Each structure stands twice: as C-alpha cells, then as structure tokens.
Structure 1
C-alpha cells in the first residue's frame, strides 16, 4: 500500500516545479482547489482524479505513486470470510511432503470429466453467476491439484497442468472482479507457471493477459504496460498465416498495454498499441470466443470498445458518446463483461456531461441485465454518486434502487 502522505508530497513537488498554484492546477485539471489541498495534506482521491492531475502536470500517472502502485481499493474484498474456501484451495499451507490436507484419490483422476467441469464453470462465469463461482471454484481447484500430483510424467501430466492453469485463470478472473487482487495475482502467477511447464505458450499468454488486468486494476501502470507489451513483442504472429487464437492472444496483450498507457498519461503510446490491436482484430474478422484459453471474445468490436474506454480515461466524454453511437453492426460479438464495461463507460460519460437521467437509464439497464457484475464495479458506484450529487429533485425510484444495490448514499 502506498504512503498517501508521500503521494501528496509528490503532487506538491510537481505542482511547484511547474510554477503552479493550487488554484491554477485545479483549473487545468478540471477539479476544485479543495481536492488539491486535500491530497497535498495526505488525503486520498479516486484514480481518475490522479489521471486528471497527471495530465495537467504533463507527467505519467505512475509518477504520483511509489513502485507498488496506488493505494489499495478500500472496498476490496481480500479479507471477506466468504472467500476463505477459495483462498485455502489456491494458497494451501505447504509441508515437507507437499500441500497439507490434500488426500490422494483411491482411483485415477478423470481428466476428461475434470475439463468438462472446468468448461461448465467458465460458462457460469461469463453469465455473471458470481455466487455459483464462489461455490464451484474451491472444489475444482483442489481437484486440479490432485490431478497434477497424481500424474508425474507423460501426456497426462501435461494435460493435468494445462487444466489446472485454465482453472486458476478462471479463479483469477473471478477474484479480480470481486477485487481480491492479491489472491487473484497468486492464482494467475501459478497459472502461467503451469502453462509454461506444460509447454502451452498460448495458455501462458492468457495468464499474462490476466496479470496485466490485475496490475491495471491496482494502478500499477508501468508494470502492466511493460508486461503486456513485452509479451506481445515476443509472440507477434505472422498476420497472413497465424491461427486465429494466436491473433486473439496477441491482440488482447496489445489492448492491455494500450489501456495501461492511456491511464498513465501516455496517449501516443496508447494510440499506437491500439492501432496494432486493430490489425489483429481485422485479421481475426469475426470474434474468437474461448472461455478457458482467453479473456472472452476478441475481434473488431472488442478493439472498438477498448478504444472508447481509452477516451473515457482521457476525460473525453463527448468522444465516448460519439464513438459509441457509431459502433458498426455485424463485426462480431463481445462477452458480457466487456460489453457491460462499455455500457458503464457510456453511463459515466453521460454523468460527466450532466445528463443524469440518461446515466441512470444505462445503469438501470445494467442492473437488470447483470446485477452481480454491477455490484462489484467501483465505477458504477462513483457514477451514480456523481449523478445523485448534482440532482436537485427527489430521487427517482430507479435511483433509490441503484443506490441500495451499489451502497451509495442518496
């Protein structure tokens, strides 16, 4: 966790170096002077506030933080008891003879059945069935441990490692959504190791895509960009003959790197990385969906949605709405979490432009379609809070329902 006093000290140093008063910096960043004073006195702010300050100061966002990234999200679920079974499965204690409490089965593990169970759980994840995931994953992770420990060599060993890598990636996705970042990172780190041991390069790349996502969510922007871009460089395919799954993995790595650069006040780098991702998307054509070996659908639509997200990060809400209205039809599909994230950007853009009723309408549509997903989105809570802050009339029934669901004071 960062020393928030150190963040305020860095902000003051950058401000003074630029010859700016607190009032002038606030004007350039589109913030109130009180926000600047609060941060410089040791207070905290939302990550997008730091983005705005970095843009005004013409520095990277990460320059305001230490090497560990920004302060951990105070809404994080790392210590919630309902994650204890999954924590025990992913990070069990280790004895001299191996994992404690892991009983070897009386019969040989069924790898075909294990993979089928993993595929069923993946479908539940992509349908936003988070409570079901919390129940399914602990036993599934333990079963993959048993399979890996049982098979010590041969093709069965490689298959057991591959399945465990895929299951750990699924756990990492789920844990990132509920903001248990440290446990998610542990799962994804082990997933990459398993994939590498199995000689499965695409599976390893998929785990790295997940690690970059976690680093983004934690605000570790330099690390996220470097990890994703270096991996993309190492596996850049020949566009004319590469399998579609390789193109999809390369494209996702580029999108992660672009997202990190956009958040780190590096717009030129973000644009170039997004351009390369568009090349991958065009080569893929229609979306590639693989619930285990990737992070959902990748194709032209995925790239377009992430470009719009970068515009929201750059605080250009008018561009978000314009680009959203021009999304082409028939260019592929997006998995629910990516499409929902896009709709959340649209809600945020409307709130920023003081279109509170339209922002509420979009949030209500998300509440209707994906209530469990929405509940874990900090951006949704912040967007609703901004809408309610500027509303002069009594809250509507929909706004009261959203406020209760997102734990936002009305």
Structure 2
C-alpha cells in the first residue's frame, strides 16, 4: 500500500487539489497557472509559493511536503503522549481531577518551568509528558487557592494550557491546540493579565499560521501586540519582551503573506524593542531580545525571496548564545534554505545535515528539511548526502 510520504510533492498537491482545476488553484493562490504546473510537475517552486498553495488547499505545508499525512502518522510514543495530554486538557477544563492535593506553588512553578525548558530545547514529546502533570497541578492549585491568590493561579493555569497548545500544534493536532489555547485565553482574561492575554493571542496566531489560516494569523498577531504596546520610556523587561516578540511574530506572518514592506516595518519595530532591552529574556515561556530578533530576521528575508540578504544577516548576526537549541536550529534551517536558493546546493545540504544530525527528533517536526532537500536534489547536490539525509529524516521523498 502506498504511503503518503511515498508520493512526490507534486503528486500530493494533485491529490489535495482533487477535482478542482489547476486554474482554480492558481486563482485561489494568486500564482500563475505556470507556477502551479511547475509545482505539480516537481520542477521546483519557492517556499513562499508552497505556503500559498498549502493555504489554498487548507493543508499544513508539512502535509504538502509529505512529512505528515493529512492526518499525521505518528510514532507510538507520540500518540501516547498526545492522548494523555488531550485527556488532561479536557479533564482540567471540566474540573475533573482538580480536587487532588496540590504540591505547592514552588513545586508547581518548577515543574511548569522545566516543561517549558524541555519544549524550548525541541523535545516536544518530553515537553508534552511534563505538561500534562503540570496542567493537573495548576488546575488543582486554582481550585484550592485563597481569594487573594486566585488571579495568580489563573495566570499559571493559562501558561500550562498554552504549553499544551504549543505541543499539540507541533504534532498537527489542531483540534487539541485550538481547545487548549482557548482555555488559556479564558484563564488569562479571568486573571486580568494583559501580558498573558497577549501571549495566548500570539499562540493562537501561530496555530492559525500552522493551519494555513494566514489572514486570521495576521489579524490576531496585530491585536496581540497593539493591546500591550508599552509607553515610551517603559523599561519593564517582561512587557518589552512580550511586546517585541508579538511584533516580530506579526512580521513573520506578514512575510508568509508576501507583504515585504509590512514585514520589514514590523521587524524594525522588533529590533528597536530589542535594542531598548539590551539582552534576551524569557517571560511566561516567551523568549525575546537581540539574539531572537536577529534569528527571525534571517527567516523573514528567506521567506520574502531575499536569500542573499538572509546570508548577509546571518554573517552579521552577533552573539546568538542566548538562543534556545530549537531557535538556533530553526535559524540554521533558514540559512540552509538561503544557500539552496542561491544555488549553493552542497553547502545547503552540509548545513541541513549538521542540523538533522544534531537534532533528528526536532527535525522530523519541521517542514523546511523537505523543502531544502527537494530543491537541492534538483540542483547539483551530491547523491550521497541526499541519501544520508533521507536516512536521518526517515523519508523516501528526498531523492528524486
């Protein structure tokens, strides 16, 4: 039986298009019919075109690339984690199991903090395994909180729900992601916490982005940063980090929509905030500062069709040691894509192999390795490198 990953990208686009004509798909994407034919003929298209095609097909780009089936085929450990996380999210929202004795504020903060750190490292299964008990603890803590501690407890519960949403989104479990981020938003609003409310809004924007709902992603991102814009002279690092990240996320969304000027303007705002901060910080699971905005600038340049500029920005990046492992790996994927787009196929594969070798579990949740490998295979890339990459990613669609 043919598996979804055994089809080529062009064949998957045809299957997802179904009875609709190439002309209708071109109209829906704003691309030319010639570009659609190139895509379906596996003759190479840009990442921006693939994003537009995936949006018109109402499919995650990773589905188009064969990294996940229309319903992701997951490993047993992935399914077990998601099942437990789903039960916890729904039970917590219904008040089931919240009558357990909480272990205390310090232990809860430590457990939730550890779960966020594991998530930031790129171990999404491990993060989900830790998020479920942290969510149960947070729900129990809210149930037993004194009147003066209720808002604080609701804020912590909002963070736990948001982490659950992020994990679910990484695995393409959109229903769970939407449910969890909805509960996070509700708890943040009840807590009266504008910063956490903005964090949940940006989380929803990211889920929209992965779900190829680009207009909703843009609208939600804009609302999230406008709601917490700091006054001139405000030096609160937590507020600045949250606002800066939301503006930068809005730049990423604008770039995905092909709005180059808008993306550059928003990115410049993010840079200005990072400069005011002077260093990278993390607040409520959100990391931002000069290193983060420098890494995002590389990706924005790539997705707006300026690979040469992306490589220049990478060369000028400065100190990126504050980046988490997953943020650094994502930046290197953007570098590899820029190298591929500038016809440096072997260099692109070298960069990609370095990332996938150092973080194979993280790489399998990313769409870019498939994009880069397919572009490299159409160029002058060494077949041996392509085969090694195919083995690392566990897919047969790399080598054409």
TM over 0.5: yes
CA distance in 2, matches of 1:135, 1:331: 29
Change (3 A) 1:375 1:36: closer
Structure with bigger RCO (C-alpha 8 Å, 6+ apart): 2
Change (3 A) 1:197 1:7: farther
Matches within 5 A, 1:219-230: 219-230=212-223
CA distance in 1, matches of 2:27, 2:302: 27
Q: Residues 129-166 of structure 1: CA distance to partner in whole angstroms, max 9, x if unpaired?
A: 33322322222222222222333x51332232122111
* CA displacement at 1:338 relative to structure 2: 2.0
The corresponding residue for 1:148 is 142
CA distance in 1, matches of 2:298, 2:345: 20
The corresponding residue for 1:311 is 301
Q: Residues 63-120 of structure 1: CA distance to partner in whole angstroms, max 9, x if unpaired?
A: x57xxx55675316667532111111112498xxx445x2622x45523211211112
Matches within 5 A, 1:236-315: 236-290=229-283, 293-296=284-287, 298-315=288-305
The corresponding residue for 1:325 is 315
The corresponding residue for 1:35 is 39
The corresponding residue for 2:99 is 104
CA distance in 1, matches of 2:92, 2:150: 23
Change (3 A) 1:315 1:4: farther
Larger radius of gyration: 1
* CA displacement at 1:402 relative to structure 2: 2.3
Q: Secondary structure at the match of 1:289?
A: strand
- 8 A contact 1:78–1:181 mirrored in 2: no
The corresponding residue for 2:391 is 404
* CA displacement at 1:390 relative to structure 2: 3.6
Of 324, 327, 333, 1:335 maps to 324
- 8 A contact 1:348–1:359 mirrored in 2: yes
The corresponding residue for 1:57 is none
The corresponding residue for 2:90 is 91
- 8 A contact 1:285–1:332 mirrored in 2: no
- Provide the aligned length of Structure 1 versus Structure 2: 370
Of 320, 333, 336, 1:347 maps to 336
* CA displacement at 1:389 relative to structure 2: 4.2
Change (3 A) 1:138 1:264: same
* CA displacement at 1:313 relative to structure 2: 0.9
CA distance in 2, matches of 1:79, 1:150: 40
The corresponding residue for 1:113 is 107
CA distance in 1, matches of 2:153, 2:210: 30
Change (3 A) 1:5 1:262: farther
Of 199, 202, 207, 1:209 maps to 202
Change (3 A) 1:7 1:149: farther
* CA displacement at 1:243 relative to structure 2: 0.5
- 8 A contact 2:88–2:135 mirrored in 1: yes
Change (3 A) 1:11 1:79: closer
Taking structure 1 as the reference length, the TM-score comes to 0.79
Q: Residues 327-383 of structure 1: CA distance to partner in whole angstroms, max 9, x if unpaired?
A: 2x2487222222211110111112223322211211222123322211211111221
CA distance in 1, matches of 2:18, 2:141: 45
Change (3 A) 1:90 1:11: same
CA distance in 2, matches of 1:213, 1:122: 17
The corresponding residue for 2:9 is none
List runs of 5+ in structure 1 lacking aligned partners: 39-44, 54-60
CA distance in 1, matches of 2:175, 2:379: 36
* CA displacement at 1:323 relative to structure 2: 1.9
Change (3 A) 1:352 1:196: same
